[in-house]
Amino acid sequence: MVHMFGWFKRWLSARPAAAPAPASRPAQPPGSPRLKSYQADSGHVYQYFFEGRHCHGRETAFLFSVTAQRTAPQRVSVVLPEASLASFERDAGRRLAENERYGVAKMALLRLFDTSEQPEDLAGGARIDEAHAREYLQVLDL
């Protein structure tokens, strides 16, 4: 009987490993933007992805490609001035990391979605002042 269990153990170890379960969504190629959706309070459903950021002096512009209801994509800029973060960084005793800055910009983008009556209203983008930066940082639990 013991001999039979030894054979069974060898047989199990010789079997090929099971294939991994398929992912719930297809894997994205490295470096490709991740398309996200957001249903705004206005009722519009926006799809957007992060294009990158540009630094202009003491400001950083976070650029997003946005489309709503299958319209042509438009570039929306969210400007984050260093001055808007200065008092928070002084109080926290540290400089915000890039991912934290991106989080602030993304929250401003979502608020822009919520407050715009029509997708065309997004063209002006958003500029984050100190009060909104503090509010977003509090929501982000920073």
Domain ranges across the chain: 34-139
d(C-alpha 120, C-alpha 136), whole Å: 24
Residue, of 27 and 35, whose pLDDT is higher: 35
Least confident of 25-34, 51-60, 126-135: 25-34
pLDDT in tens, 62-112: 999 999 987 889 999 999 999 999 989 998 899 999 999 999 999 999 999
Average pLDDT estimate for 10-29: 52
Say if strands 126-127 and 74-81 run parallel, antiparallel, or are unpaired: parallel
| C-alpha triplet 75, 64, 104: angle, nearest 5° | 135
Residue, of 22 and 61, whose pLDDT is higher: 61
Average pLDDT estimate for 12-24: 52
Where do runs of H (alpha helix) occur along 15-58? Answer: none
What predicted TM-score, i.e. pTM, was given to this entire model?
0.75
Residue 34 pLDDT class (50, 70, 90 cuts): confident
